[in-house]
Chain A
Amino acid sequence: MSGADPAQVAFSPDGAMVVITQRGTDSIGTYEVRADGAFGAPRMIASQGPTPYGFAFTSGGTLVVTEAFRAEKGAAAASSYVIVDGSLDPRTGSVGNGRSEICWAVVTPDDRYAFTTNFADGAVSRYAIAADGSLSLEDATAGIAVDGMTGLRDEDLSSDGRFLYVIDADHGRIYGWSVGERARWSRSGLGRACRRRWPGSRRAEAGVRCDSSRFTP
């Protein structure tokens, strides 16, 4: 579609749907994925808020979508949707977090929280996801890289949900946080975190070895 300006594409957890956020048209497109792998006809719904951007699914199929609100300062928000009869159905509309230029979302393995990155001001926000798929803001500044500094982009959680990593490509940085418990950093802790993020002792694509065995006292 001309002018769609898509931001993210991903399958639903059951593989039966492909979702595409379209910033240019403030809409969310879906395709049914047929048994033979072919796509069905596209379906379009209006995003709950403007500039739908990154998104993440819970294991049960609740979709959390960030909304950048055309980069308006302090207007970042997120909405949730549930899948009903093969279509997205809005559940909670545009929950603002007071931050700016929200980008990406991840959902914790227990499906209870979503973390979003806010590009314009260095904050990671935490939303709670209820069992019925409704969304509420719990902490607009659950994590701060450098307050007020631009740069936070994509993010990911370790598979056990204990560590959150966010890339700041503008400044060549990766921020690491411990989720849910007070961190006690140690060299071995760094090694474990690195191995989770970058399996193996060699991260070939970055030319980096990241392994606690490489530490020398």
Chain B
Amino acid sequence: MRLEPLYTVTFTTPEAWSVEVATGAGIEGRSSCWPRAAPLDIVAATTGRPTHCWSM
């Protein structure tokens, strides 16, 4: 019986959070109030994958 990493949820505040797939594929989703310091288009460009976002 193994533990296979699925994802990591990171909260900067209770309202600001992101989900990162454990395979290293990059940020898969985050709350709309995630700090502007890491714009979604930059994340998408870095990971090469579409970035999904949903609002509170």
Which B positions have Cβ atoms within 8 angstroms of A?
1-12, 14-15, 17, 19, 21-23, 28-29, 31, 50, 52-56
Contact = CB atoms under 8 A, between A and B. Distances in A.
Scoring B8, B9, B50, B55 by chain A CB atoms within 10 A of each residue's CB, the highest score goes to B9
Contacts, number: 89
A187 B52 contact: yes
**Mostly helix, strand, loop or mixed at chain B's interface?**
strand
A215 B6 contact: no
A152 to B, nearest CB: 12
B3 A214 contact: no
26 contacts: A124-B3, A139-B2, A143-B3, A164-B3, A171-B10, A172-B12, A173-B11, A176-B6, A178-B3, A179-B3, A181-B2, A182-B4, A183-B4, A183-B5, A183-B6, A185-B21, A187-B52, A190-B7, A190-B19, A190-B29, A208-B14, A208-B31, A209-B54, A215-B54, A216-B53, A216-B54
Interface of A: 113, 115, 124, 126, 138-139, 142-143, 145, 163-164, 171-183, 185, 187, 189-190, 193, 206-209, 214-217
